[in-house]
C-alpha cells in the first residue's frame, strides 16, 4: 500500500503533534500483525517520550526516550489515524476510543494532552518492532536497504551502481528494496513513464543518460506526491484521516485502456514478477 511518499506524508502530519509528548498508554488487541509484537510491547512503551519522528524507506521511526525506536510498517492496508481523545475515561480502553472501535483497530497509543493514535490494518501485512536507537541501522528490516531516491542528490550514477549490472527488467529492479528504498508499484510505473523507459528494459541495457533521467524522475514524482499528500486508492489515509491527492495525477498507474497524457496512445497493463505494470508502449522505449 503505502510507499515512501505516503509514509513521509504521515510523518509530516504526526511530527508536530507528537514530538515531545509522553506516551501514557499503549494497547494491542491481538498478539501479532505479520509477525508477533515484541515481548511486553505495550508495557515497554508506557511512559516514553517521543523525541523525534523519522522515516527510512516505508518504515516510520518513532525515536523514544529510553534509547529505543519504535518501527512501524503499514504493509498494504495499514493506517495511522490521530484523533483527540474522549477524555480521561478513554485512556487504555478501546471502547471509549474516539469514534468507537472500528474493525481492524489493532493498536491504540494514548499520548499526553489528549491525543489518540490508532493503528488499523485489515490485511495485517504491517509490522511493529522496538529496537535500540543506537543500533537502528542494524535492524534486520533496515540494514540491507538501498538509497532513497527522494533524497536530493540521488543521481543516475548511483542508480546505475544499484541496477546497472542486473539482467532483470528495470521495473522489477527498482522495486527491489535492497537496490532502492521506498519505491513501490505506483511510483515505479509513474517514474518509468516520465523517463520514457519501457518497464521491460534490462538494467544492464540502460544508458547513463537514461539512468540519469530515471533517477531524476523517481525523485521528482515521489516529492510531488508528498506535496499532494500521497496517493489514496483504497486504504491509505493521512494521519488526520484525509485522503491524499496524487492519485488524480497518475499518468499510467491504474489507467489501463485510457489515453496516455503525453502521446495519446493507450495505457497498457502487463504482469512482471506477479505485479501489475502500467505503461505506455507509445512513448516508453
Binding region for DNA (CB under 7 A):
1-3, 6, 34, 57-58, 73, 75-77, 103-104, 122-125, 141, 166-169, 172-173, 175, 177, 184-186, 203, 231-236, 272-276
Q: How far is the CB of 220 from DNA (least distance, A)?
A: 18
Report the residue number, 66 or 168, with the smaller CB distance to DNA: 168
Q: How far is the CB of 209 from DNA (least distance, A)?
A: 22
**Which residue in the list 38, 44, 275, 281 is annotated as catalytic?**
275
136/31 Cα distance (integer angstroms): 24
* Residue 128 C-beta: closest distance to DNA, Å: 13
Residue 49 or 139: which CB sits closer to DNA? 139
CB of 38 to DNA, least distance (A): 15
Residue 83 annotated in active site: no
Rounded Cα–Cα distance for residues 170 and 201 (Å): 6
Kindly tell me which of 12 and 76 has the beta carbon lying closer to DNA.
76
Does 38 participate in catalysis according to the annotation? Answer: no
Catalytic residue among 55, 58, 194, 255: 58
Of 3, 6, 8, 190, the active-site residue reads 3
Q: Which residue, 13 or 75, has its beta carbon nearer to DNA?
A: 75
Active site residues: 2-3, 58, 275
Amino acid at each position: 500500500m503505502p510507499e515512501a511518499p505516503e509514509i513521509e506524508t504521515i510523518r509530516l502530519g504526526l511530527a508536530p503533534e507528537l514530538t515531545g509528548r509522553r506516551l501514557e498508554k499503549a494497547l494491542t488487541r491481538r498478539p501479532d500483525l505479520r509477525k508477533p509484537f515484541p515481548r511486553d510491547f505495550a508495557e515497554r512503551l508506557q511512559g516514553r517520550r517521543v523525541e523525534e519522528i523519522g522515516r527510512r524507506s516505508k518504515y516510520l521511526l518513532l525515536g523514544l526516550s529510553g534509547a529505543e525506536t519504535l518501527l512501524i510498517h503499514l504493509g498494504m492496508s495499514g493506517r495511522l489515524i490521530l484523533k483527540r481523545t474522549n477524555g480521561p475515561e478513554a485512556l487504555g480502553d478501546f471502547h471509549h476510543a474516539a469514534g468507537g472501535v472500528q474493525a481492524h483497530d489493532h493498536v491504540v497509543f494514548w499520548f499526553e494532552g489528549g491525543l489518540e493514535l490508532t493503528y488499523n490494518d485489515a490485511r495485517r501485512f504491517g509490522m511493529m518492532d522496538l529496537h535500540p536507537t543506537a543500533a537502528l541501522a542494524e535492524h534486520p528490516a533496515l540494514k540491507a536497504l538501498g538509497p532513497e531516491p527522494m533524497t536530493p542528490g540521488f543521481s543516475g550514477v548511483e542508480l546505475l551502481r544499484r541496477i546497472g549490472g542486473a539482467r532483470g527488467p528495470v521495473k522489477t529492479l527498482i522495486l527491489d528494496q535492497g537496490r532502492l528504498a521506498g519505491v513501490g508499484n505506483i511510483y515505479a510505473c509513474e517514474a518509468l513513464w516520465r523517463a520514457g523507459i519501457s518497464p521491460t528494459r534490462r538494467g544492464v541495457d540502460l544508458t547513463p543518460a537514461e539512468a540519469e533521467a530515471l533517477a531524476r524522475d523517481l525523485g521528482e514524482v515521489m516529492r510531488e506526491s508528498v506535496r499532494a499528500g500521497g496517493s489514496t486508492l483504497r486504504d491509505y489515509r493521512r494521519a488526520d484521516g484525509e485522503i491524499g491527492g496524487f492519485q488524480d495525477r497518475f499518468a499510467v498507474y491504474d489507467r489501463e485502456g485510457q489515453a496516455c497524457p503525453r502521446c495519446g496512445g493507450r495505457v497498457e497493463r502487463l504482469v512482471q514478477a506477479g505485479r501489475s505494470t502500467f505503461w505506455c508502449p507509445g512513448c516508453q522505449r
